[in-house]
A and B are shown apart, each in its own frame.
Chain A
Amino acid sequence: MPAAGPDRELMQATDASALSQPAVRPLGRARPRWGERAIQGLLFLCAAVSVVTTVCIVVALVEPTISFFGEVPIGDFLFGTEWAPLFSPPSFGVLPLITATLTTTFVALCVCIPAGLGAAIYLSEYAHPRARKVLKPVLEILAGIPTVVYGFFALTFLTPLLQDVWPGFLGDPPQIFNMLAAGLVMGVMILPTVASLSEDALTAVPQALREGAYGMGASKMQVATRIVVPAALSGIVASFVLGISRAVGETMIVLVAAGGTPNLSFIPTEPGQTMTAFIAAAGIGDQPTGSVGYKTLFAVGSTLFVATLLMNVLSIRLVRKYREVYE
């Protein structure tokens, strides 16, 4: 039952409407309430803001991108191996930005996929409810730390640490700016996203499946790895896909810790410039509107937007799939 406050208000509301209604009124359609209609329209407009945002993002990206490709052949953009838009003559091969994005993303995934899934399995299958109540908010704190702070941590703590403990047989130690530290820290940043989405999927698996397996004599580990994880697989994959999308779109960590030089290389100890870092750096450079330098920002932005959009849609579909099966 509602508390005293709303209750009293409700009484007043009914009193008021009782007074305003004529005593005898035929049943049937109520008179149209224009105020109610107006409110509904206003609320619809609020919801429509999100659609307008998407449309504006697409419009903002498409027009300069098309005019960019009018000046730079699309083949040179996609397959060129040198990215130097501000040199003369400029070259617009996006491959170095893509290799850096793939390298940092891959390093991040090496951290966040096993650790995120491990944390999710522990929270859903092993942890005492009281332990879960403490651990989940702590993971949420990890997700709430600003990315520029993670960048600082990668640059001033992790990179020196890696340089100190680097074993010789792995080759040259990481440079001051390197994709390895950026990727590792990014992995920890994404860990809570993967963990919490995977945990949702794991807890949605019906208890009967677990009990059935226990009844057949399975151990706790067998239940977790052979029953619960396969049953929740689409949700778990969705969390991985969203993790990849987050890693590809992350900006500040790579901007701070991975350096600002485009580098066609998959070696994580070297510096590199990701697509996001390029966009940010181009923005800092304050290009005049309409120049090719200004348009490159949008061309790279479109590439990034399309890539993350595809992954997000895939992830949303996968989540729907397990919800349909179990909920």
Chain B
Amino acid sequence: MSTVDAPIGRGPQSDRVKGTLFRLALLSSLALGLITLIALLADVVISGAARLNGDLLTNFPSGIPENAGAQSAIFGTIWVIGLTGLMCIPVGVGAAIYLEEYADRERWWNRAIELNIQNLAAVPSIVYGILGLAFLVRGAFGLGQVVLAGAMTLALLVLPIVIIASREAIRAVPPSIREGSMALGATKWQTIRRQVLPGAIPGIATGSILALSRAIGEAAPLVLLGALTFITFNPEGLDSAFTVLPIQIFNWISRPQEEFQTLAAAAIVVLLVILLTMNAAAILLRNRYQRKW
């Protein structure tokens, strides 16, 4: 009954205290994320500082920590990720166009494809490693532990990300553009190619960059593909053995010597610089070119 008598205005003091505490609790959840991020960045930079030099980029892996570098891993990453992009971006954009522009949602197979893509996006990455191991490295294709097998596995892994981002970008192009184009006599494909896709390119590019940056950091599936072997040469072709940065980092982390931990931290800094640059490029692209219709 006391609430009836309470004056209009601010609530009782206990409520205000509770409100403030609640707000602090919410803020501290965000702070947990930010503090971890800062601690992580500081930790790798400080631990790796001693080895952050040109040798890291130009030397090959070696059993002697002072001589070891990550050149083969850096070139391996460039090869594998370049190839991953070449495979997953065209297929992903094609699938997105089909689902947004052609697919009739009344048909069960189109709904199945959609559900399937959502599902694949959440399948653990190590399961893709099993797929790659069973079909690409051994078994049906029998490619062996080579660049092509690694790139195909990663392409399948990030395909759902490319599809989902491209669909959003295509959906953001208003129907009036399509209708205008069709009314002027363009065919469906002419409309898509000359009107819809140019409008959706910034969104597609942003999504593709983010997908590739996910692929760059991925280690688990490649561990299964045998990328962990000692590689002291750069890849020379699709059928060349390879290693990539996260795998090289994992290799160094699992060695007992302190020097290799330093080396791992330095390589992590290189990896993070690449990833942050890509993320920044994606965000810039999004802010700069994304059109408000």
Q: A43: nearest residue on chain B (CB-CB)?
A: B98
Q: Among the listed B43, B125, B224, B225, which residue makes an inter-chain contact with A157, where contact means beta carbons less than 8 Å apart? A: B43
The dominant DSSP class at the B interface is: helix
Q: Is the CB of B119 within 8 A of A312?
A: yes
Q: Is the CB of B268 within 8 A of A54?
A: no
Q: In the complex the two chains form, what is the Cα distance from A188 to B30 in whole Å? A: 10
Q: A217: nearest residue on chain B (CB-CB)?
A: B11
Q: Does B50 contact A (CB under 8 A)?
A: no
Report the stretch among B63-71, B129-137, B233-241 that lies at the interface: B129-137
Contact with B along A154-180 (1 / 0, CB 8 A): 011100000000000000000000000
Which A residues are CB-close (under 8 A) to B216?
146
Q: Does A66 contact B (CB under 8 A)?
A: no
Residues of B in contact, count (CB < 8 Å) = 101
Q: In the complex the two chains form, what is the Cα distance from A163 to B130 in whole Å? A: 36
Q: Among the listed A144, A221, A251, which residue makes an inter-chain contact with B124, where contact means beta carbons less than 8 Å apart? A: A251
Which A residues are CB-close (under 8 A) to B272?
145, 149
Question: Using a CB-CB cutoff of 8 Å, which residues 163-211 of chain B contact chain A?
Answer: 163, 177, 181, 184-190, 194-195, 198-199, 210
Residue among B33, B125, B195, B218 facing the most chain A CB atoms (10 A cut-off): B33
Q: Count CB-based A-B contacts (< 8 Å).
A: 292
Q: Does A22 contact B (CB under 8 A)?
A: no
Q: In the complex the two chains form, what is the Cα distance from A261 to B225 in whole Å? A: 22
Q: Does B61 contact A (CB under 8 A)?
A: no
Q: Does A14 contact B (CB under 8 A)?
A: yes
Q: Does B219 contact A (CB under 8 A)?
A: yes
Assuming A157-B39, A308-B124, is B29 touching A221 (CB within 8 A)? no
Q: Is the CB of B194 within 8 A of A9?
A: yes
Q: Does B154 contact A (CB under 8 A)?
A: no
Q: Among the listed A10, A21, A118, A152, which residue makes an inter-chain contact with B264, where contact means beta carbons less than 8 Å apart? A: A152
Q: Among the listed B18, B128, B189, which residue makes an inter-chain contact with A221, where contact means beta carbons less than 8 Å apart? A: B18
Q: Among the listed B93, B133, B187, which residue makes an inter-chain contact with A36, where contact means beta carbons less than 8 Å apart? A: B187
Q: B23: nearest residue on chain A (CB-CB)?
A: A126
Q: Does A88 contact B (CB under 8 A)?
A: no
Report the stretch among A67-75, A77-85, A275-283 that lies at the interface: A275-283
Q: In the complex the two chains form, what is the Cα distance from A56 to B37 in whole Å? A: 37
Which B residues are CB-close (under 8 A) to A48?
113
Which A residues are CB-close (under 8 A) to B127?
57, 61, 249, 301, 304-305, 308
Q: Does B1 contact A (CB under 8 A)?
A: no
Q: Does B138 contact A (CB under 8 A)?
A: yes
Q: In the complex the two chains form, what is the Cα distance from A301 to B124 in whole Å? A: 10
Q: Is the CB of B95 within 8 A of A221?
A: no
Interface residues of B (CB under 8 A from A): 11, 15, 18-19, 22-23, 25-30, 32-34, 36-37, 39-40, 43-44, 47, 90-95, 97-99, 102-103, 112-113, 115-120, 122-131, 133-135, 138-139, 156, 159-160, 163, 177, 181, 184-190, 194-195, 198-199, 210, 213-214, 216-220, 223-226, 228, 246, 249-250, 253-254, 261, 264-265, 268, 271-272, 275-276, 279, 283
Sorted nearest first, the 4 A-B pairs with minimum C-beta distance are: A249-B124, A146-B217, A118-B29, A46-B94
10 A–B pairs (Cβ distance < 8 Å), ordered by A: A10-B195, A50-B120, A61-B127, A144-B210, A148-B217, A149-B44, A249-B127, A252-B250, A309-B119, A312-B122
